[in-house]
């Protein structure tokens, strides 16, 4: 069967692209190894943060403002709360200072008309009693933001894509992109099948540079530890006593979530340098050192979790671009090939507008957001620019 557009990967980039392109009249198919949602995909987890805060970067804040409306619309459409607006607490161990992630985020929020609430040590302890008193002395709470149940979001979107006529082909591991005279004509899967299309979108997350090897110099796969803890005192970690948080995140990498409404766990993870991994060949295990680092963080931050049992771990694999910005654009030398990847650990929150961005990239439409995310050259020494990330 021939399609207008083939999308390789059914994570959040792939499924949103499929929906948008199918709704624009293209006969669209998604190929994925399965099962769906894929258990190793970065999208497949119990939660992802939705936050406006990007330091002094107004471009990203505006992008999240647009996405937040979409999250509310999806809650109504799917008739269940997949997005939970718990608010976001961002606190620091020292006074916020110009140039810091928290200070610049707070300033940008106010500049754009939002109403973050400044917190000192006493207010942090009063409003959020799980935090160790006086360990964090400054910061703010922003009521707009929270988390989404990411794996369930992908499941709902795959179901919607099928209802709209997208051909979702699970059990198809694409290993080769067929190029004829500088044009993509098809993809081949490990089952021996060849799928033809006028256009191919690679939305394979950390596997992307394996399929498009010319991206290997500017994309890498890094693994980051994720922990689910079972608290002895759940009320301490239940909103409004607790919110999505970052804990001096640009200096430590630590962030986390309130008690999950379905799983009954507190998820805490590290948004940092990570461990360089091969997406196919390397194991994704959380190490004893990772657990030691977590316990040390808990001792200084959340005393009630110091002895909490860890009931699940995973190493979330980021598809990092060198500059840590999304990668949404046509291949400059190969016709019929678009890449939609490079989430760099912060892409999921944009899901409600990702499909439009990718579809516009495929069609070559003008879009004010896209120039920053297009195909670009980067020197090997290019530094990451995601303001909330701990860079070591």
- pLDDT tens per residue, range 191-235: 999 999 999 999 999 999 999 999 999 999 999 999 999 999 999
- C-alpha distances in angstroms, 140 versus 53, 106, 128? 11, 7, 12
**If you average pLDDT over every residue of the chain, what do you get?**
97
Cα distance between residue 85 and residue 115, in whole Å: 15
Residue among 220, 253, 174 at smallest CA distance from 327: 220
25 contact partners, CB below 8 Å, separation of at least 6: none
Any domain includes 297:
yes
Question: Is the residue at 16 inside a domain?
Answer: no
State the residue range of the domain holding 93: 85-145+220-321
Instruction: Examine residue 55 and state whether it is found in any structural domain, yes or no.
Output: no
pLDDT beyond 90 at 275: yes
Stretch (H or E) spanning 228: strand 219-229
Per-residue pLDDT tens for 355-371? Answer: 999 999 999 999 999 99
Distance CA 204, CA 44 (A): 13
Q: Is 338 part of any domain?
A: no
Q: What CATH number is associated with residue 308?
A: 3.30.9.10
Tell me: pLDDT of 2 over 90. Answer: no
Cα–chain-centroid distance for residue 120? 30
- For residue 39, count other CB atoms closer than 10 A to its CB: 11
Write down the pLDDT at residue 69: 96
Task: Report, as an integer, the average pLDDT of 131-140.
Answer: 98
Residue 136 lies in a domain: yes
Mean pLDDT of 117-131: 98
The 10s digit of each residue's pLDDT in 5-45 is: 999 999 999 999 999 999 999 999 999 999 999 999 998 89
> Does residue 138 fall inside a structural domain?
yes
Query: How far apart (Å, rounded) are the C-alpha atoms in residues 236 and 63?
Result: 32
DSSP conformational letter for 309? P
CA 8 to chain centre: 18
In 293-312, which positions are buried (b, 16+ CB within 10 angstroms) versus exposed (e)? Answer: bbeebbeebbebbeebebee
The reply to whether 173 falls in a domain is no
CA distance 91 to 87: 13
* CB distance 243 to 380 below 8 Å: no
Instruction: Give the pLDDT confidence of 379-388 residue by residue, as tens digits.
Output: 999 999 999 9
Please count the structural domains in the chain. 1
Number of Cβ within 10 Å of residue 270's Cβ equals 23
- In this structure, is residue 332 part of a structural domain? no
- Mean pLDDT, to the nearest integer, of 166-184? 96
């Amino acid at each position: 069967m021939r399609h207008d557009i083939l999308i390789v990967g059914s994570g959040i980039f792939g499924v949103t692209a499929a929906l948008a392109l199918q709704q624009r009249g293209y006969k669209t198919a998604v190929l994925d190894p399965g099962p769906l949602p894929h258990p190793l995909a970065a999208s497949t987890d119990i939660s992802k943060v939705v936050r406006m805060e990007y330091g002094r970067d107004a471009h990203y804040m505006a992008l999240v403002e647009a996405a937040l409306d979409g999250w509310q619309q999806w809650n109504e459409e799917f008739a269940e709360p997949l997005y939970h607006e718990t608010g976001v607490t961002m606190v620091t161990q020292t006074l916020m200072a110009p140039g810091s992630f928290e200070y610049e985020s707070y300033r940008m929020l106010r500049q754009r008309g939002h109403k973050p609430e400044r917190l000192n040590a006493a207010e942090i302890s009063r409003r959020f009693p799980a935090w160790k008193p006086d360990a964090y002395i400054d910061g703010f709470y922003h009521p707009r933001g929270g988390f989404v149940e990411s794996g369930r979001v992908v499941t709902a979107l795959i179901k919607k894509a099928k209802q709209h006529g997208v051909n979702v082909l699970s059990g198809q591991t694409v290993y080769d992109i067929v190029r004829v005279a500088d044009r993509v004509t098809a993809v081949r899967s490990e089952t021996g099948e060849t799928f033809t299309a006028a256009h191919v979108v690679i939305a394979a997350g950390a596997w992307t540079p394996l399929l498009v090897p010319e991206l290997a110099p500017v994309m890498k796969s890094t693994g980051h530890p994720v922990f689910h803890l079972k608290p002895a005192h759940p009320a301490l970690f239940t909103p409004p006593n607790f919110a999505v948080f970052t804990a001096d995140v640009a200096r430590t990498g630590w962030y986390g979530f309130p008690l999950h409404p379905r799983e009954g766990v507190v998820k805490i993870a590290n948004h940092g340098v990570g461990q360089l991994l091969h997406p196919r060949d390397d194991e994704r295990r959380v190490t004893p050192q990772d657990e030691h680092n977590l316990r040390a963080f808990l001792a200084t931050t959340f005393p009630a979790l110091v002895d909490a049992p860890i009931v699940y771990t995973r190493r979330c694999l980021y598809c990092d671009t060198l500059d840590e910005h999304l990668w949404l654009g046509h291949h400059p030398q190969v016709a019929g090939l678009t890449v939609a990847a490079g989430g760099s650990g912060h892409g999921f929150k944009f899901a409600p507008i990702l499909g439009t961005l990718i579809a516009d990239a495929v069609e070559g439409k003008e879009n004010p957001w896209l120039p920053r995310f297009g195909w670009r050259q980067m020197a090997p020494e290019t530094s990451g620019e995601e303001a909330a990330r701990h860079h070591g």
